[in-house]
Chains A and B, each alone.
Chain A
Amino acid sequence: MKLHKLLRFSFRNLFRNRRRTIITLSVAASGFAAMAIIAGYIDFTFYGLQELTIRNGFTGAGGTGHIQIFSLNALQKEESYPLEFGISDYEAITKGIQTIDGVFFAMPRIEFSGLISNGEKSLSFLGMGVDAKKEADLLSFFGKDMAMKLDNSALYALQDIPNGILLGKDMAKSLNAKRGDTLMLLSTTVDGAVNAIDVTVAGTITTGFKTADRYYLLTHISDAQRVMQTDKVSKIVAVLKDTEYTPIVIPEVSDILNRDFPSHKFAIEGWENLAEYYHAICDLYRIIFSFVGAVVVVIVTLSCTNTMLMSTMERIKEIGTLRAIGVSSKWVTAIFLLEGFLTGIGGVIIGTILKYIISAIINHSWIMMPPPPGMSISYQLQIYPATFFIPLIAIVIISSTTLSSLITLRKVRRISIVEAITHV
């Protein structure tokens, strides 16, 4: 029997055993759709995490941006005094980077620490000196299609107040500080002395991390420099127009720095290298997805096998008759495998349609998801196409329907022809 005859035969069997085919097809199609939707959800989650990492970060220390530039020394050596390996030409560097196509803007940051006091009580802090307007832009720029807004009102408030400061929510509570209050900020200068400046509370921030909310604060970059008596910054953060540009822009940044500041050695890091938390969560999701995938595969295989087995018991006599009139067991196997395979293909086709319909419904129904771990922002549930996973899922589904026809066949094989033809 040639392939086209076999195909015609199998198709005919599938079409005419309508009830069985509908059941196995729906099982395969729902399995495919379920896995594709989960993959789409995970793809969306990865994207959300990625953008959250870049725009907001998870530790209170701000989003990573897309690219960060340090002095190479800052990464390799211990500083003997604050900002020993800071960057002093940051304004020129920032301007240079901003000429690159694909760069939205660049901004400096200073990381520092010290004590903050309301006169009665002092708390130690980790602080960051920032360009409030640009940090606000980084936040507001968040995920164009995520329909998720990060709150940047505090940063806007900071912009308007000279000597302004944003306190972690719990730190503010602990210091009993309200908007407009004056506090004293103490830190070590680059010369090792202790310096203090007056700051005005512009508002509070919530990082999503309880501990960070207790020790974190933000100041203007100029105030951080003033208290530390320096003109350097810790690093420069470049924000791109799209996260996808990162690998293209990194070498361009490197070129510009080598060209304009040949005497200085810089380290340039993409966001992926700066985002440990992101990778940990992605790994976790991958494990969950593999697990769910395995469960779906087992369910699809079992239900397909079950349906096929049930109908095969009805077909035992038919198979016995085929064998008796001289159809070899090789052909019977081929017919079975082909039916399983075609069911898988049909399941994938219907499942793809199903997946698009369900994704479209989900994406248009504005389901708000609870905030991710440690975060305080909810966001709209979206299912992404997850194009990368689709062929993989298709293979998995087709294999499991084919496998279930194999399992069925094994059962049928145990029955002798004589038993089969007299089977009722």
Chain B
Amino acid sequence: MKLQGLEIARLDNVTKYYRLGEVQITALNGITLVLQEGDFTVIAGPSGSGKSTMLHLLGCIDKPDKGSIIIDGADTTGQSLEELTEVRLKRIGFIFQTFNLVPVLTAFENVELPLLFRQMGHGEIKDRVDEALHKVGLSDRMRHYPSRLSGGQQQRVAIARALVGHPGLILADEPTANLDSKTGSEIIELLLRVNQDERVTILIATHDPAVKGKANNIINIQDGRINELMSL
């Protein structure tokens, strides 16, 4: 058990329903969970167990039906869409299974994207983007378009984009699912390094057993409930 750190995010008795016609699906059922600064947590669970739903709620791109989500000490329950957007911009980094880079933008421009919407000078933006691309080892590819990059390289760009705003929390939904196992483990190594160097809290949803091995917390969920919580 490691030392009690600073709380970055918390799910408090969170329930999320989906409605499919007449049927109501309980995607998350009374989840309570705390993420602390520097955590490297993996959410594991079978398909449909609610991993993605949990990430979407923590990432403030969806709202729970019950319970509350606290990010950096602030309860997001009553916050306006504007405020949630601001939270996403400044406090959270997203990494997707399908990389989700903007195809018409170069690696540099993709990473730069979140900074364009912040009050930041040209020079500062450039420095930060260079730094982020350097961290993911793609300094020499910044003029490349996503279509000219391998899957692993695209995911690195996505990681740089998530890092560039210096968020406290990075959420990654199956970041290795579209990569071969070697590239996948390189991506996980990269995330681990980022986690250790920057003390960024990282939460990864995955099926991949290799990823589980690297985590310091593993949350197993099934049918929208946490059925096992392991701290290593």
> Which residues from chain A sit less than 8 Å from chain B, CB to CB?
1, 5, 9, 12-13, 16-17, 317-318, 320-329, 331, 416-418, 421-422
CB of B11 closer than 8 Å to a CB of A? no
Contact A1 B116, CB 8 Å, known A324-B61, A325-B88, A325-B161: yes
Contact check, A418 vs B85: say whether CB atoms are below 8 A apart.
no
Q: How far is the CB of A29 from chain B (nearest CB, A)?
A: 22
Selected interface stretch from B70-78, B90-98, B208-216? B90-98
Contact check, B117 vs A324: say whether CB atoms are below 8 A apart.
no
Chain B interface size range: 20 to 34
Query: B85 — which chain A residues lie within 8 A by C-beta?
Result: 323, 326-329
> Smallest CB-CB separation from A16: which chain B residue?
B104
Contact A325 B89, CB 8 Å, known A416-B62, A421-B96, A421-B100: yes
Contact check, A5 vs B61: say whether CB atoms are below 8 A apart.
no
Contact A17 B94, CB 8 Å, known A5-B116, A325-B113, A326-B88: no
Q: How far is the CB of A14 from chain B (nearest CB, A)?
A: 10
> Smallest CB-CB separation from B85: which chain A residue?
A328
Query: B88 — which chain A residues lie within 8 A by C-beta?
Result: 324-326
CB of B81 closer than 8 Å to a CB of A? yes
Contact check, B117 vs A321: say whether CB atoms are below 8 A apart.
no
Contact check, A328 vs B82: say whether CB atoms are below 8 A apart.
yes
Q: How far is the CB of A363 from chain B (nearest CB, A)?
A: 41
Contact A321 B100, CB 8 Å, known A417-B62, A418-B61: yes
Since A17-B104, A324-B88, A328-B82 are in contact, a sample of 16 more A-B pairs with Cβ atoms closer than 8 Å, ordered by chain A residue number, is A5-B116, A12-B104, A12-B105, A16-B104, A318-B102, A321-B96, A321-B102, A322-B113, A324-B61, A326-B114, A327-B85, A329-B85, A418-B56, A418-B61, A421-B96, A421-B100
**In the complex, which of the residues B88, B109, B114 has the most CB atoms of chain A within 10 Å of its own CB atom?**
B88
Query: A418 — which chain B residues lie within 8 A by C-beta?
Result: 56, 61-62
CB of B86 closer than 8 Å to a CB of A? yes
> Smallest CB-CB separation from B164: which chain A residue?
A325
Query: A9 — which chain B residues lie within 8 A by C-beta?
Result: 116
Query: A317 — which chain B residues lie within 8 A by C-beta?
Result: 98, 100
CB of B152 closer than 8 Å to a CB of A? no
Query: B98 — which chain A residues lie within 8 A by C-beta?
Result: 317
> Smallest CB-CB separation from A314: which chain B residue?
B103
Q: How far is the CB of A72 from chain B (nearest CB, A)?
A: 74
CA distance A326 to B114 in the complex (A): 7
Q: How far is the CB of B26 from chain A (nearest CB, A)?
A: 17
Complex interface bits, B185-216 against A, C-beta within 8 A gives 1, otherwise 0: 00000000000000000000000000000000
Contact check, A324 vs B59: say whether CB atoms are below 8 A apart.
yes
**In the complex, which of the residues B82, B93, B117 has the most CB atoms of chain A within 10 Å of its own CB atom?**
B117
CA distance A417 to B103 in the complex (A): 18
Contact check, B117 vs A1: say whether CB atoms are below 8 A apart.
yes
Q: How far is the CB of B119 from chain A (nearest CB, A)?
A: 9
Query: A323 — which chain B residues lie within 8 A by C-beta?
Result: 61, 85
CA distance A13 to B52 in the complex (A): 30
Complex interface bits, B112-134 against A, C-beta within 8 A gives 1, otherwise 0: 01101100000000000000000
Contact check, A326 vs B89: say whether CB atoms are below 8 A apart.
yes
Query: A331 — which chain B residues lie within 8 A by C-beta?
Result: 117
Contact A326 B104, CB 8 Å, known A5-B116, A9-B116, A418-B56: no
Contact check, B89 vs A327: say whether CB atoms are below 8 A apart.
yes
CA distance A417 to B85 in the complex (A): 11
Query: A1 — which chain B residues lie within 8 A by C-beta?
Result: 116-117
CA distance A329 to B52 in the complex (A): 23
**In the complex, which of the residues B109, B113, B162 has the most CB atoms of chain A within 10 Å of its own CB atom?**
B113
CA distance A417 to B86 in the complex (A): 15
Q: How far is the CB of B212 from chain A (nearest CB, A)?
A: 23
Query: B90 — which chain A residues lie within 8 A by C-beta?
Result: 326
10 contacts across the A-B interface (CB closer than 8 A) = A1-B116, A12-B105, A12-B109, A318-B102, A318-B103, A324-B94, A325-B93, A326-B92, A329-B85, A421-B61
Q: How far is the CB of A3 from chain B (nearest CB, A)?
A: 12
CA distance A327 to B90 in the complex (A): 11
CA distance A318 to B100 in the complex (A): 7
Q: How far is the CB of B133 from chain A (nearest CB, A)?
A: 16
Q: How far is the CB of B76 from chain A (nearest CB, A)?
A: 14
Q: Which of B142-196 contact A (CB under 8 A)?
A: 161-162, 165
CA distance A326 to B89 in the complex (A): 4
Query: B92 — which chain A residues lie within 8 A by C-beta?
Result: 326
Contact check, B117 vs A328: say whether CB atoms are below 8 A apart.
yes
Contact check, B81 vs A325: say whether CB atoms are below 8 A apart.
no
B86: which of A325, A326, A416 is its contact (CB, 8 Å)? A326
